Amino acid sequence: MLTYLKGAGCSLLVATILYLTTVVEFETPPGVITSYDVGILFIALFNYLGCALGFLVHAALTRIRIKSIPGSAVIFILLGLAFSMTLDYIFELNYKFYFITIAGSLVYYLAQLITNRHISIVLSFLGPLTALSFFLYFA
């Protein structure tokens, strides 16, 4: 379970940072209502759903003993692309969400390479706390 949570936490951290740097405009005029809080909720929800798929793919790669880091990274990039295309088909998203989803998928895989238990626990909480703090900022 910790492997899923550390990957999802890292993925959410990166997705939130990318969302803040590519989509959010911090200097909005007074009185303008933004929906950035909804965007963060959207990213958080679908991040954990996408990471569940990543967990299954990682388990399959481990089961068939694929140890190649570059090969596995390509598989996760393709998984992120397929997941973002599916979300785009359903929700008609901005093209920037493709980049966010693919980066989140790749980071999920790279987080699986971390073996230190204490770092894994910190990373499990870092993504959700970052997303929560910016959600509260925009709400």
Residue 58 lies in a domain: yes
Residue 54 lies in a domain: yes
Tokens of residue 98, six digits: 């493709």
Range of the domain at 9: 2-23+33-138
Residue 28 lies in a domain: no
Say what the pLDDT of residue 75 is: 95
Residue 68 lies in a domain: yes
| Local structure of 136: helix, strand or coil | helix
How many helices and strands, by DSSP H and E, does the chain display?
5, 0
pLDDT tens digits, one per residue of 71-124: 999 999 999 999 999 999 999 888 889 999 999 999 999 999 999 999 999 999
Nearest partner of 97 among 18, 41, 32, 26, judged by Cα: 18
pLDDT tens digits, one per residue of 2-33: 889 999 999 999 999 999 998 887 776 666 66
pTM, two decimal places:
0.90
Say what the pLDDT of residue 55 is: 95
Residue 114 lies in a domain: yes
| Tally of structural domains, the chain | 1
